């Protein structure tokens, strides 16, 4: 999954991609993967817990990928 248009709307005070945007992408990516595996039974599923440790910042102007 790829967020193509990463611009100032997605930035934090340091002009990097805001952590909340990154976490939202991770959450949607996990749901998309679960939908591919489980199928229609995943409709209505919710994230109960999501833990993440950041190791670097995304850059404004570069696509953000979830693999």
Q: Which residues contact 52 (CB under 8 A, 6 or more apart)?
A: 22, 23, 26
pTM of the model: 0.82
- Residue 1: the pLDDT is 86
Q: How do the domains of the chain map onto residue ranges?
A: 2-45+59-65
**Mean pLDDT in consecutive groups of 10 residues from the start of the chain, 67 residues:** 90 93 93 91 90 92 90
- Residue 67: the pLDDT is 87
């Amino acid at each position: 999954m790829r967020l193509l248009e990463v611009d100032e709307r997605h930035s934090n005070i340091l002009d990097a991609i805001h952590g909340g945007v990154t976490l939202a992408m991770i959450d949607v990516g996990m749901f998309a993967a679960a939908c591919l595996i489980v199928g229609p039974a995943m409709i209505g599923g919710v994230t109960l817990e999501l833990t993440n440790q950041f190791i670097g910042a995304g850059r404004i102007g570069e696509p953000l990928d979830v693999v």
